[in-house]
Structure formats: structure tokens, C-alpha cells
């Protein structure tokens, strides 16, 4: 395919490409800024090389990503929330020679065996004459993103231009496409959720309104006052938007929330419906270059708990053990330099997601949990997500995480780690569980915790939680 940025400039040069708090650029203006920055970058990097990218949701972060694509580099998207040790692992794993970072993001983080250049340092260097790549090759790995690593070391997910293209195509078929779309991006550009918005913008010719940090009041204000048509959110973000919304109507152009990172509960759904807020629930991952399954707003009330049906380019089937298998052109060609992992993750062209689920008679997908999180107790399969969903109906439960621990009689049993608003007893929680769950699913013990072990992207390390003594110190009786 032709260079996506150059093609977009040729098709719609005067269309607004990006809006930030400080600036607004058309595609022609964006292209000029990218071209200049590309020449600065060329003084410290080589074309076709691997380059670490550490940026905020800022205009210069956006321009840097596009400029490196123009140089046909593979962008190793570094998470600014990672510790120095975690960043160093990814740098070593990809043998990076150069990291480009936004000023301030490496404060108090010392990295070795790599040359790190801030935006300010690069800006002060002389430019180097260089031409942008003419074509984006389908199988070229343009981005490499690391998974969170909840149970083991993070894996580098290779993402090609073909992956991003078909992700955008599937999304357009599902959500519809308008040349007037303006997508509010408050999710990080270094995650697939944010990066996919960038790629959709080039392919659709839409506008991206870029916000660096999620603040519910500020985002609600933008949705009211600006011509935003879409926003990507996770459940906690949507909940905060509901809490901080003063019932002002969003602008007439607003079309939907794209919800990822977990299903919406009935209460939130009812609030959204009353406010006429269209919510598109979805399921996807880094390995699929964004969503592969989505539940339309019209089906949400009848299909509570489902993440929807597959998008047009995606094939899905359920393995005999309940694992969700996918086959689609937007699925990663593999993990970086992990041949054994690739061999076990793919089977006859089908990608093994590691998620357990089932399809109903109408083809709607329901998730039951991660395969590795499943607890086998006395021969019964138990999924923590199912137990957690039941206990969240108790208003005093702030958060609950269920995990399996060894047991001499049953092999393994579920226990719960909870945060509560008020006093609760084990007998009350056990009795409540027996009313709503099969007896073998009810947690054997309940522990109060002040926090949870998490990955850099915020995912709870369930197995770590169940294996470290400090989380077992405050048991309810």
C-alpha cells in the first residue's frame, strides 16, 4: 500500500487531522511537521531500525510516532508507567540502540546499553536529508508492544501494517464510518487502544482529539462542548464519566462509547440507556491489534454479559476445553524471538487466546475468564470472574479478586481478597455465596487487603496474589 500519511494528505489535505489543547493541524500541516521532525530524527537513528518510543498523549508524541513510520522503523512502544528495570528488560529483549523520549519521562530512570534522546536534545541537532518510505509493506512489523506479563515475563507482540489495516476495516464495518468523525483519544498511544485510533485516523481521514490524561469532569466538558463523535473507554472510565456528568447533553455529533477491558454491568448499562449514551462493548487484545468482537448497543439489554459477535474479517471457534480461538488478518504474526511460545500459541492458523468462553445459539460470545486463572476443585472447573460478578452485587464490596490456593482434600479451592466500605463477616459472605453460587464455587476464606499487586498497565496479578503471604494476614472470621 502507498504510504498511509502521504495518501491521506493527497486525499484530504485540508481536513483537520489532530486537535490538542494547544493546537489544531490539518493533514497537510501535520505532514509538514512530520517531515521536519523526521529529518531531525534521522540524525540519531537509521532507517529500517528498531527504535524505542516513550511518549505522552501529546502532539509531539503523535508526530514522533508518524515520523518514525515514515522512516520505516519498527516502533517498540514503551509504557511510561514502567519501572527502569521493566523498561530495561524490553530494551535488552529487542536489542535497542536508541530510545526517543518525551522530556521528563525518564526522570529518575537510568537505562544502560542504549542511547536515549529527549525531544529537546533532538530539536537542537542539525537535520539530515532523508526521504520518506514510498510504500507501507503489508508484512512489515511497524509496532512491537509488550503484554503485561501477569504470570511471567512480558512478551513482545509484533504488529504489521496488515494487522492495523484490517483492524481498522473491521472496526469501520461494525461502527460505521463518517468523514466527520472526531475520535477523542484519552487512552495511551503506547497501548493498542490508543495506537489503533491513530491508524484508523489515517485510513478513515477522521480527526483525533488528543488528551494526555483522563479526568472525568474535563472529558465530560469536551463531550458537551466539542464535536466529538466517539471515545474509547474502559469500564472504570465510563463509571467515572457517569458519576461526574451533570446531565448536560453531549454534543449532537456524539455517536458512541467504545468499551474495552471488560464487560459493562447491568446498573451502568441502565444508566447509559436512560441517558441515551450508546455503548459498544468489545473484546480484543494487543495480539489482535484492537477489538475482534463487539456487542452493539441494540443487543446489550438482551445479551447482558456478552461481548458480542465477531467483526467481519474475524473467524472464531471454541476449542474442546473452552478456549477461544481466532483466525483473522489483524492477528499478530507472532511474539518477538519466542519460537516456542509461537508454536504453542498457534494451531493450524488459529490463534489460541488463552481466554475461556462460549457461544450462545445466536453466536454471541460470553467470556468466562483466563485459562490460567481457572481453578480445578474436586474435578470442577471454577472461573474467578463468575464469583467476583456475584459478590459485586453487594454494595459494600469495593473490590474483590478470587484466586485458587492448594487444598489437601480438593486439590485447589477458591479464596477471596476483598476491599470493603463497612464491616463484613465470613459467615455473611459465605451465606450470600451459597444463595447465588454452586457450593463448590463459594470462597473458602476471605481476606481483607489494602491493595493488589498489579502490572504496569494496571492488571491484577491474580496468581502472584495467591502465592505471597502478605495478602493472607487479615482473614475475616
Q: Which segments of 296-349 are extended strands (E)?
A: 306-310, 315-318, 323-327, 346-347
Domain at 4-368, CATH from 3.40.50.12780, 2.40.50.100, 1.10.8.50, 3.40.630.30: 3.40.50.12780
CB 182 within 8 Å of CB 207? yes
Q: Count CB neighbours of 243 within 10 A.
A: 11
Average pLDDT, the chain: 92
Q: What is the pLDDT of residue 373?
A: 86
CATH of domain 374-472: 3.30.300.30
Percent of the chain with pLDDT over 90: 73
Please report the sign of the dihedral spanned by the C-alpha atoms of residue 134, residue 136, residue 138, residue 142: positive
Q: What is the pLDDT of residue 239?
A: 87
Residue among 300, 21, 6 at smallest CA distance from 185? 21
Percent of the chain with pLDDT over 70: 97
pLDDT digits (tens, 9 = 90+) for 378-406: 878 888 988 998 899 898 999 999 999 99
User: Which part of the chain has CATH 3.30.300.30?
Assistant: 374-472
Confidence of residue 173 (pLDDT cuts 50, 70, 90): very high
Range with the lowest mean pLDDT among 95-99, 188-192, 452-456? 452-456
Is the predicted pLDDT of residue 149 greater than 60, yes or no? Answer: no
Is the predicted pLDDT of residue 151 greater than 70, yes or no? Answer: no
Q: Kindly list the strands in the beta sheet with 446-448, ordered across the sheet, starting from the edge strand earlier in the chain.
A: 397-407, 411-420, 446-448
User: Which part of the chain has CATH 3.40.50.12780?
Assistant: 4-368
pTM, entire model: 0.87
Q: What is the pLDDT of residue 456?
A: 65
In three state form, how does the secondary structure of 359-404 look?
A: ECCCCCEEEEEEHHHCEEECCEEECHHHHHHHHCCCCCEEEEEEEE
Q: Which residue has the higher pLDDT, 269 or 238?
A: 238
d(CA 77, CA 453): 23
Q: What is the pLDDT of residue 276?
A: 86
Range with the lowest mean pLDDT among 15-19, 114-118, 420-424? 420-424
Amino acid at each position: 500500500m502507498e504510504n498511509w500519511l502521504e495518501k491521506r494528505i493527497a486525499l484530504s489535505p485540508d481536513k483537520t487531522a489532530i486537535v490538542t489543547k494547544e493546537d489544531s493541524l490539518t493533514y497537510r500541516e501535520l505532514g509538514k511537521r512530520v517531515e521536519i521532525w523526521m529529518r531531525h530524527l534521522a540524525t540519531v537513528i537509521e532507517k529500517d531500525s528498531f527504535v524505542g518510543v516513550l511518549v505522552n498523549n501529546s502532539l509531539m508524541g503523535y508526530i514522533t510516532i508518524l515520523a518514525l513510520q515514515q522512516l520505516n522503523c519498527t516502533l517498540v512502544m514503551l509504557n511510561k508507567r514502567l519501572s527502569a528495570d521493566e523498561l530495561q528488560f524490553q530494551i535488552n529483549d529487542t536489542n535497542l540502540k536508541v530510545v526517543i523520549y518525551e522530556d521528563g519521562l525518564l526522570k529518575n530512570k537510568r537505562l544502560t546499553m542504549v542511547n536515549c534522546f529527549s525531544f529537546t536534545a533532538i530539536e537542537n541537532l542539525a537535520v539530515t536529508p532523508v526521504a520518506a518510505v514510498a510504500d507501507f509493506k503489508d508484512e512489515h512489523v511497524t509496532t512491537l508492544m509488550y503484554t503485561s506479563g501477569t504470570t511471567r515475563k512480558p512478551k513482545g507482540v509484533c504488529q504489521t501494517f496488515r494487522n492495523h489495516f484490517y483492524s481498522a476495516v473491521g472496526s469501520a464495518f461494525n461502527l460505521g464510518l463518517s468523514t466527520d468523525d472526531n475520535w477523542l483519544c484519552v487512552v495511551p498511544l503506547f497501548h493498542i487502544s490508543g495506537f489503533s485510533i491513530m491508524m484508523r485516523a489515517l485510513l478513515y481521514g477522521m480527526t483525533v482529539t488528543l488528551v494526555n490524561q483522563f479526568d472525568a469532569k474535563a472529558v465530560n466538558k469536551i463531550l458537551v462542548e466539542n464535536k466529538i463523535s466517539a471515545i474509547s473507554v474502559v469500564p472504570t472510565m465510563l463509571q467515572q464519566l457517569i458519576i461526574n456528568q451533570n446531565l448536560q447533553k453531549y454534543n449532537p455529533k456524539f455517536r458512541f462509547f467504545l468499551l474495552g477491558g471488560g464487560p459493562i454491568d447491568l446498573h451502568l448499562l441502565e444508566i447509559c440507556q436512560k441517558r441515551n449514551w450508546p455503548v459498544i462493548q468489545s473484546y480484543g487484545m494487543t495480539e489482535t491489534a484492537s477489538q475482534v468482537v463487539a456487542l452493539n448497543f441494540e443487543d446489550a439489554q438482551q445479551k447482558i454479559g456478552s461481548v458480542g459477535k465477531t467483526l467481519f474479517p474475524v473467524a472464531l471457534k471454541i476449542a474442546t476445553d473452552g478456549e477461544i480461538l481466532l483466525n483473522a488478518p489483524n492477528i499478530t504474526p507472532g511474539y518477538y524471538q519466542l519460537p516456542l511460545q509461537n508454536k504453542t500459541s498457534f494451531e493450524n492458523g488459529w490463534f489460541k487466546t488463552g481466554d475461556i468462553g462460549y457461544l450462545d445459539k445466536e453466536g454471541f460470545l460470553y467470556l468466562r475468564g483466563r485459562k490460567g486463572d481457572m481453578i480445578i476443585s474436586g474435578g470442577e472447573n471454577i472461573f474467578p470472574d463468575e464469583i467476583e460478578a456475584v459478590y459485586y452485587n453487594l454494595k459494600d464490596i469495593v473490590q474483590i479478586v478470587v484466586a485458587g490456593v492448594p487444598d489437601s482434600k480438593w486439590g485447589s479451592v477458591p479464596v477471596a481478597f476483598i476491599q470493603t466500605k463497612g464491616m463484613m463477616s465470613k459467615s455473611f459472605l459465605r451465606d450470600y455465596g451459597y444463595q447465588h453460587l454452586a457450593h463448590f464455587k463459594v470462597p473458602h476464606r476471605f481476606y481483607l487487603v489494602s491493595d493488589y499487586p498489579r502490572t504496569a498497565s494496571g492488571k491484577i496479578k491474580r496468581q502472584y496474589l495467591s502465592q505471597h503471604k502478605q495478602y493472607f494476614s487479615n482473614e475475616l472470621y
